[in-house]
Amino acid sequence: MKYVLDASAAICWVVRRPLTPKAIRLRDDFRQSIHHLLAPDIFIDEVASGLTKAERQKLIPVGQAASLYAQVMNEPVALLPHLPLVKRKKSGRSSFHTNRVSKRAASPGR
C-alpha cells in the first residue's frame, strides 16, 4: 500500500514521542517493502524545520539535529514535486490514491 509520509511522522523515527512505536513499525514495514512511502519534495525542509524546533524546545540536545536529519533522509522515501500536487488539489482532482500518514496516525492498524 502507498502512504504519503508527513514530516512529523518521520521525525518520530528519531525523536521519542508518544507515537514513536507506531512510526518505527511503519518504517520497518517500509524497509521490508510491505508499504511504499511517498512525500512531497518539501518534506526535506519540513524535517529540517521540525528537528530545529525540537532543539529549541529542548527535546533533543543542541547540535544533534544534523545527525538526526541524516538518519531520516537516509530512508529512501520517494519524493514527488509538490507544485503539481497543489494544482491538482485546487482543481478538486485527487493527485493519487494514497493514505496520508501523520503523527496522529503513524501507521496503519494491524
Sign of the CA dihedral running 9, 89, 97, 40: negative
The pLDDT, as a whole number, for residue 89 is: 58
The pLDDT, as a whole number, for residue 92 is: 57
The pLDDT, as a whole number, for residue 109 is: 47
Within the chain, what is the greatest distance between any pair of CA atoms? 43
Q: Are 76 and 63 in contact (CB under 8 A)?
A: no
Q: Note the CATH architecture for domain 2-100.
A: 3-Layer(aba) Sandwich (3.40)
Tell me the whole-structure pTM to 2 decimals.
0.75
Give φ, ψ of 36 to 5 degrees: -110, 130
* Every domain of the chain and the residues it spans: 2-100
Output the tens digit of pLDDT for each of the chain's 110 residues: 888 899 999 999 999 999 999 999 999 999 999 999 999 999 999 999 999 999 999 999 999 999 999 999 999 999 888 777 666 655 555 544 444 555 444 444 44
Instruction: Convert 25-58 to b/e letters by CB count within 10 Å (16 or more is b).
Output: ebbebbeeeebebbbbebbbebbbebbeebbeee
Q: Are 46 and 23 in contact (CB under 8 A)?
A: no
Find cell 529549541 and name the residue: 56
The pLDDT, as a whole number, for residue 98 is: 44
Overall residue count recorded for the chain in this entry: 110
In angstroms, the CA 102 to CA 87 distance is 22
